A and B are shown apart, each in its own frame.
Chain A
Amino acid sequence: MRFYEYESRRIVERAGIPVTDYGFATTAAEAGQAAERIGGPTVIKSQVLTGGRMKAGGVRFADSPEQAEADAAEILELEIGGHVPVGVLVDPKAEIEQEYYAAVLWDGRAKRPMMLFSDMGGIDIEQVAAEHPDHVGRGHLSNLHPIADFEAKQAVARCGMTGSALNRASAVLARLARLQRDYDMTLAEINPLARLADGSFVALDAHMEMEDEAVGRHKPMLHEIGVDLDEPRELYEPSEFERNVKAIDAADHRGVIQGKDHGFHGDLGLVIGAGGGSLTLTDAVRSQGGRPANYAEIGGNPSVAKSKGLAIEVLRKDGVEKIAVMMSIVSNTRVDIVARGVIKACLELGKDPAETIAIFRIPGAWEEEGYRILDRYGVEYCDRSVSMWEAAGRAVARVQGDRTGSQ
């Protein structure tokens, strides 16, 4: 789960990390009032769940409350990468002595969180790591033992820092490390972390991502900072197909179906499963010249209604005349139940299953029963002796046969 900058700031603030005296506004008038209260020059920042705000014109510098209000009015109307801002953050323009970078994130290979600190903040950390590796301090953390302050100090010292800056920065990093652990953040990043003229450190921008699987156990904190859990936070706006499949899945607890069509524009509908099988089959279709209309994952023995629902949504997509129903060998999901579902989808849409189902390749549990159903409706099917690749190839050939036939 991703957070807006204003939410990330509230999270770091709660963890005892100093932030500027910022304001969050959803209207231009509120932004003007916030600038008035802050006093002096301000920075107005668009609140969107995407990067590249600066380039897109989503960050402006204002000298007066009037200017802040005018800038906010424009930013609130500005879509960035397809995202409409939920508001603006009004920040005092700080007198910065130096910018730093602080983050805590997972190192999957070590299976531990890792702290990262750099005295070259404000810019792309990847670039710093490549060009100035001695300016990046790192340190792994235990998952079991308490996080000790010295561990943060070591990481900061490893990038060459000393003096009172070392001590103040270490305190920030230790708090960030505890925050990462306490709230299951996959990424807890402050960039830039600024040292002001008086030597104090403040977080000027923060980027937090909470692991989706852990959201349930942090509801009190999320509620406190005003996060609406029902609000979708996708990287892109879900399509009608994606929304419909999600609704079908949610309506029935039996089995799991997922469907995506972001980036797919083809004419062969895919009713496929499960995780690994879906990836393998999508590759097999594409590698043999097929053009998938969607991606899907079926698993956990869905009901007839659920399989039917997915097939109907796929068949309703523009330009889709045929579906390929394929999976790797199943042991939990039942072949006959999926067969009933996809045939029923065809019948309800007034289509002939034999013409509409390009291929049915699901070997495994209850396959004999499934094949009897498919026989009855004249649907082309195959068992495990026909590979996933071959089955995908047959489906592609049938769709291409249609295409050349109609030309």
Chain B
Amino acid sequence: MHGTFIDVEVSGAAASDPELARKLEEVCPVDIFAAAGGTVEIARENLDECVLCELCVEAAPRGTVVVRKLYDGTRLER
């Protein structure tokens, strides 16, 4: 699942953490993440609205959230 310009990956275990899901939903200014039934759901229609603020990357445990820029192959992660 990805947009035209942006893709977001939440690694397996983290994706089903209800606490992280809630946090991601809260920090993303363009509503890419939704906490649905305790898991992280990605609103595909909002992916391309990503403003590269990295708030999701910062909010998640190291290495669990990756934002990919599909136009140049680079990634935002920590």
- The main secondary structure of chain A at its interface with chain B is helix
Known: A344-B4, A347-B4. A372 touches B72 (CB 8 A): yes
Instruction: Find chain A residues with CB under 8 A from B4 CB.
Output: 340, 343-344, 347
Tell me whether B5 and A303 are in contact (CB under 8 A): no
CB distance from B69 to the nearest CB of A (A): 8
Of listed B49, B52, B72, residue having the most chain A CB within 10 A: B49
Name the residue of chain A whose CB is nearest to the CB of B5: A340
Whether A334 sits at the interface, judged by CB under 8 Å, is yes
Name the residue of chain B whose CB is nearest to the CB of A377: B71
Query: Which of A334, A344, A369, A372 is the one whose CB lies under 8 Å from B48?
Result: A344
Tell me whether B52 and A304 are in contact (CB under 8 A): no
CB distance from A161 to the nearest CB of B (A): 65
For window 24-51 of B, CB contacts with A under 8 Å fall at 30, 48-49, 51
Known: A340-B5, A344-B4. A376 touches B51 (CB 8 A): no
Tell me whether A373 and B5 are in contact (CB under 8 A): yes
Instruction: Find chain B residues with CB under 8 A from A377 CB.
Output: 71
Of listed B4, B30, B52, residue having the most chain A CB within 10 A: B4
Instruction: Find chain B residues with CB under 8 A from A337 CB.
Output: 51
Name the residue of chain A whose CB is nearest to the CB of B29: A254
Whether A305 sits at the interface, judged by CB under 8 Å, is yes
Task: State A303–B29 Cα separation when bound (angstroms).
Answer: 12
Instruction: Find chain A residues with CB under 8 A from B48 CB.
Output: 304, 340, 344
Contact with A along B6-40 (1 / 0, CB 8 A): 00000000000000000000000010000000000
Contact with B along A333-350 (1 / 0, CB 8 A): 010110010011001000
Known: A347-B4, A373-B5, A376-B72. A305 touches B52 (CB 8 A): no
Instruction: Find chain B residues with CB under 8 A from A347 CB.
Output: 4
Tell me whether B49 and A376 are in contact (CB under 8 A): no
CB distance from A275 to the nearest CB of B (A): 24
Task: State A342–B23 Cα separation when bound (angstroms).
Answer: 32
Known: A340-B4, A344-B4. A372 touches B71 (CB 8 A): yes
Instruction: Find chain A residues with CB under 8 A from B49 CB.
Output: 303-305
Instruction: Find chain B residues with CB under 8 A from A369 CB.
Output: 52
Task: State A369–B69 Cα separation when bound (angstroms).
Answer: 10
Task: State A305–B50 Cα separation when bound (angstroms).
Answer: 11
Contact with B along A188-230 (1 / 0, CB 8 A): 0000000000000000000000000000000000000000000
Task: State A376–B69 Cα separation when bound (angstroms).
Answer: 11
Query: Which of B5, B51, B71, B72 is the one whose CB lies under 8 Å from A334?
Result: B51
Name the residue of chain A whose CB is nearest to the CB of B30: A303
Name the residue of chain A whose CB is nearest to the CB of B72: A372
Name the residue of chain A whose CB is nearest to the CB of B71: A376
Task: State A336–B52 Cα separation when bound (angstroms).
Answer: 10
Task: State A347–B51 Cα separation when bound (angstroms).
Answer: 20
CB distance from A40 to the nearest CB of B (A): 67
Instruction: Find chain B residues with CB under 8 A from A343 CB.
Output: 4
CB distance from B6 to the nearest CB of A (A): 9
Instruction: Find chain A residues with CB under 8 A from B72 CB.
Output: 372-373, 375-376
Task: State A303–B69 Cα separation when bound (angstroms).
Answer: 17
Task: State A386–B69 Cα separation when bound (angstroms).
Answer: 27
Contact with B along A259-277 (1 / 0, CB 8 A): 0000000000000000000
A-B contact pairs, 14 of them (CB 8 A): A303-B30, A303-B49, A305-B49, A334-B51, A336-B52, A340-B5, A344-B4, A344-B5, A347-B4, A369-B52, A372-B69, A372-B71, A373-B72, A377-B71
Additional pairs, 11, CB under 8 Å, beyond known A340-B48, A373-B5: A303-B49, A304-B48, A304-B49, A334-B51, A343-B4, A344-B5, A369-B52, A372-B69, A373-B71, A376-B72, A377-B71
- Interface residues in chain A, defined as those with a beta carbon under 8 Å from any beta carbon in chain B: 303-305, 334, 336-337, 340, 343-344, 347, 369, 372-373, 375-377
Q: Which 7 A-B pairs have the closest CB atoms?
A: A376-B71, A373-B71, A372-B72, A304-B48, A340-B5, A304-B49, A303-B49
